[in-house]
Structure 1
Amino acid sequence: MYVKPQILTLQAYKPGKPSEVVMREYGLDKVVKLASNENPFGCSPKVFEELRNVVSKFAIYPDGATEEISGKLAKFLNIEPNQLIFGSGADEIIQLISRSLLTKDHNIVQASQTFSQYSHHAVIEGSEVRSVPLVNGVHDLDGMLNAVDKNTKIVWICNPNNPTGTYVNTRLLSAFLEKVPSSTFVVVDEAYFEYVSASDYPDTISLMNKYENLIVLRTFSKAYGLASFRIGYGIANSKLIQELNIARLPFNTSMVAQVAAIASLEDQVFIKNCVAQNKKGMEQYTSFFDAYGIEYYPSQANFIFVPVSNSQEIFTELESKGYIIRAFPTGIRITIGTAAENEGLILQLKSVLKNNTAINNG
């Protein structure tokens, strides 16, 4: 054995088969990937314009202190630059927080099910993982609060939750923060923040003025369409950010990622259009599910979750027809694509229903 014993209890993250592999396996000419919650409309054209201006700088290290992007993003969010930390996607911030805060004497509290990396890194650090089942796809904050004790170092709240797309509202989150010990950090992962339209969704940044144990995560991978650049960020009180930076790798976000993020941030018209298209796409699915009496969780993200008992069967059937979704033990998650992609998948789902091979709610 070469690694910590607990690492061998885990599995490496499996992102799913590339489209090219699926095409070869099934002899397909085209595959539509609706599995990873990527933006089907790509990124802002401004990104390409700005990247052309830095091709002569590829041999130079990036801005390790992320001064320019910190300044621009802080202004956009109306916070101070020293409240920001950047990473290779929000995933690296999750790793940084876990590495910096957790020991074998600690535990974390999370939902079940939610984003896998919260528990993954807790296990690596030797911490206990306490998972509280979702209620109708939503975080059970009362149950999570009951799981918190003096050794709880982090509570993870994915909002909107991945994979269910559901959200915790302002009233519930504020009540939770009031009761959680100040020694316990509450990390609210808002990877899909830009897609949210609910009027009672929490303004977590303003809540930081009252709760110093609150950390917020966001990313440029989803609505901003920069998944391949790998850049996300955390927001917290400046003292905590200063300490987390000690554990951050030097130059952990590339120059091209920083340039792309700044350019995309400055094109909010593009983001608004993507969000509007996502809403229309979501309505394509909800209209279909409603018409066929198929259960689903109302989503505030760019994906929709259908609780089913035969998720792998549905996944395989759709994959063979050129549509890649994501299967979970309790259901399937479908990324909202373009109007044509959505319509194509819906037609295949109708075929699946007609053949009586899948979509068995319960």
Structure 2
Amino acid sequence: MKESIQQLKPYIPEEPISRLKERLGLTKLVRFSANENPYGTSPQVKEAVLAYVCSHDSSQYPDSYAASLRTAIADFIKVPAESLVIGVGLDEVITLLSRAFLTAGDSIVISTPTFSEYALNGQLEGAIIKGVPCNEVTGATDLDGMVAAIDETTKLVWLCNPNNPTGTYVSVEAIRKFMKQIPKEVLVLIDEAYIEFVTSVEAPSALPLLAEFENIGIMRTFSKAYGLANYRVGYLVLGQGLVNYVQTIRLPYNLNSVSQVAAEAALGDQAFIRHVVAANAVARDSWEACLMQWGLHYYASEANFLFVEFKSPEEAKAVADMWLRAGYQVRMGLRPQWLRITIGQAEDCKAMQQLLGQFLGTCTM
């Protein structure tokens, strides 16, 4: 067995909702711990999937090139179709990138805290993980610190934007300035899984930078704003000089036909996305007003979740347990005394906020 694998701890998924409800004796349980879309999926997805399933034989392999979906994505974000790598969620894309560009002794640079898959896949390839802490007060990514962490061993830099779990956003201009300081042999990968939720600027994506820098890749997913977490569809946009290396090691037939159909239908319903983004922004504002009212420290978010600090790990756990007993599950364990709260629909947000107020008003911890 690889030594790098022996040193890893296995990922422990969350307990299934059905089993957790039964164990806790709950009639209702809403998961606000995985940043899933509380507004569901475009109705057009169901129609497209049912039409496909009713008219196609599942005994045949899917289109390995995902040609129809590939063309739809390329047209939508205005990039060459050949620059796309389509994966089974961004998890597969991250694995492919790490496998293609990392060997033992290389290093990667990440902000901390951030999405755990970057470090995990780096460790699998024997790479050294260089974590640069975010600003403790604002949660802002320390771009200067990340530049300083790069040395001759560095192959990849990962930038989650907005960042998970902090929710903070880095402007395109700041990324442009950052890229000008990055050696050309270092590949910068910008994970825009939550980019649709950004409302502070009209054009939040770093996609235009692909024309300015050859050592940049952009990643997107259908799991969040599009509500297709169960279908597992993500993609990478990478320059022609590098994309073939990733395509070469991609498994054939990696994305099933139903997922391809679902993603294309979801992409076609931008009215649904506008509804989701607008509703999320209103609910996010209500959460921030509540947190300010109670004097809780949090990071200003541009995503569909908030990262909130409590007085102690014990208080954070007590709040999470209180919400869980009421039927709301939030994410613990990402940082001591912090909770990540996925932003739900207005009714659930209001209920959670009232419960939090009651807890803090009587808490003696």
Check whether the contact 2:192–2:205 (CA below 8 A) recurs between aligned residues: no
Distance apart, 1:83 and its partner CA: 0.9
Aligned pairs (5 A) from 1:46-57: 46-55=44-53, 56-57=56-57
Specify the alignment match of 1:249 in structure 2.
251
Match of 2:221 among 201, 204, 219: 219
Amino acid at match of 2:173: R
1:181 counterpart = 2:183: yes
Matched with 2:342 is 335
Match of 1:105 in 2: 105
Tell me, yes or no, if the aligned pair for 2:210 and 2:216 is still in contact at 8 Å.
Answer: yes
Tell me, in whole angstroms, the C-alpha distance in 2 between the residues paired with 1:115 and 1:201: 23
Judge which range, 255-264 or 344-353, deviates more.
344-353
One-letter amino acid of the counterpart of residue 361, structure 2: K
Q: CA deviation at 1:6?
A: 1.8
Equivalent in 302, 313, 321 of residue 316 of structure 1: 321
- Distance in structure 1 (CA, Å) of the matches to 2:245 and 2:364: 53
1:239–1:66 distance in 2 versus 1, CA, 3 Å: farther
RMSD: 1.4
Normalised by the length of structure 1, the TM-score is 0.95
Structure 2 match to 1:28: 26
In structure 2, what is the Cα distance between the partners aligned to 1:357 and 1:118? 39
- Give the SS at the match of 1:208: helix
1:167–1:201 contact (8 Å) kept in structure 2: no
Q: How far is 1:62 from its partner?
A: 0.9
| Cα offsets for 1:171-210 (capped at 9, x unmatched) | 3211110010000000000000111112286541111111
Deviations along 1:105-153, one digit per CA (max 9) or x if unpaired, are: 3100001100000000000000000001011312101011110011100
Contact 2:195 2:204 in 1 (8 A): no
Residue by residue over 1:210-239, the C-alpha shift from the partner in whole angstroms, topping out at 9 and shown as x without a partner, is: 111101111000000000000100011023
1:237 aligns with 2:239: yes
- Residue 208 (structure 2) pairs with residue 209 (structure 1): no
2:363 pairs with one of 346, 356, 359 = 356
1:142 to 141, 144, 156: 144
1:292-343, CA deviations, whole angstroms, 9 ceiling, x for partnerless residues?
2222111110001102332333222322222100012241110011111111
The letter for the 2-side match of 1:267 is D
User: Is 2:65 the counterpart of 1:59?
Assistant: no
Query: How big is the shift at 1:61?
Result: 1.0
Give the SS at the match of 2:248: helix
Letter in 1 for 2:188: V
Instruction: Give secondary structure in 2 for the equivalent of 1:179.
Output: coil
Equivalent residue, structure 2, for 1:120: 120
CA distance in 2, matches of 1:200, 1:103: 39
Whether the aligned pair in 2 keeps the contact of 1:132 and 1:140 (CA below 8 Å) is: yes
* Equivalent residue number for residue 273 of structure 1: 275
SS state of the match for residue 76, structure 2?
helix
Query: Taking every aligned residue pair, what percent have the same amino acid on both sides?
Result: 38
Aligned residue in 2 for 1:283: 285
Stretches of 4+ aligned residues off by more than 6 angstroms: none
- Decide which moves more: 53-62 or 146-155: 53-62
Q: CA deviation at 1:19?
A: 1.8
Give the CA deviation at 1:74.
0.4
Structure 2: unaligned runs, 5 residues or longer = none
For 1:14, the equivalent position in structure 2 comes to 12
The one-letter amino acid paired with 2:325 is: S
| Residue segments in structure 1 that go unaligned for 5+ positions in a row | none
Match of 1:301, SS state, is coil
Tell me, in whole angstroms, the C-alpha distance in 1 between the residues paired with 2:103 and 2:345: 44
Correspondence for 2:303 = 301
On the 8 A contact 2:296/2:309 being kept in 1, the answer is no
Residues 273-298 of structure 1, C-alpha deviation per residue, up to 9 Å, x if partnerless? Answer: 01111011112211211222222111
**Greater shift after overlay, 227-236 or 23-32?**
23-32
* Corresponding residue for residue 261 of structure 1: 263
